[in-house]
Amino acid sequence: MSQFWIYFQIGLKHVLDIHSYDHVLFLIALAIPFSFKDWKRLTLLVSLFTIGHTMALLLSVFGIIAIKVNVVELLIPITILITALYNLFTAGKSNKKEGLNLIFFVTLFFGIIHGLGFSNYFKSILGGNAVSKLLPLSEFALGIEAAQIVVVFIVLILSYIVQTVFRFSKRDWALVFSAFVIGVVLPMIIGNEIWIR
């Protein structure tokens, strides 16, 4: 049980770490267009993101895939930017069910990119043979999923308060908060060390 709690906590802290807030930014951008009535769809998107994240860690831990750290550090904020821009261009539009399969696929793919960003650290804390890595990876994934649900729930509560108490329309909420996310993520992209070389 103690090993479970160790890796579960690592997953929680990975998402909720105040110093590496890119994961939270992505979740905010992902959750902005949704409300409590959309909880099933949003939970599915969050789970797909976790699956993508875990797939990337699995492929990396077993040496199947490797990517330069500075490339991943650039791709992660780009995924956040794309998600926030999508919100800007679709805010206030009618139900987007026709594009749902694309959104699911893109969320899974973005999860893979975010997972690659954590793969080097995760490999350094794992030891043992291949089979012994599967259980800690599952425990870590559960921690990530739990933390992501907490973040999304907070965004949904904030959305509800802003739209009911302060009378923001759903469209205005999506526009303002997506613009905020873009304002935070653009310096991450511009300041990436890949541009310095």
The pLDDT > 90 percentage for the chain reads 71
Residue 131's pLDDT is: 58
What pTM, to 2 d.p., does this model score? 0.92
Per-residue pLDDT reduced to its tens digit, 146-180: 999 999 999 999 999 999 999 999 999 999 999 99
How far apart (Å, rounded) are the C-alpha atoms in residues 97 and 157?
A: 23
Task: Provide the token pair at 190.
Answer: 């511009």
Q: Which tens digit of pLDDT belongs to each residue from 7-49?
A: 999 999 999 988 889 999 999 999 999 999 999 999 999 999 9
For residue 76, count other CB atoms closer than 10 A to its CB. 25
**What CA–CA distances, in Å, run from 133 to 7, 51, 136, 138, 145?**
11, 16, 6, 9, 18
pLDDT at 121 (0 to 100): 83
Q: What does the alpha-carbon distance between residue 92 and residue 179 come to, in Å, rounded to a whole number?
A: 15
pLDDT band at 126 (very low <50, low <70, confident <90, very high): confident
Residue 97 has pLDDT above 80, yes or no: no
Rg of the Cα trace of the chain? 17
For the chain, the average pLDDT equals 90
| Max CA pair span of the chain | 56
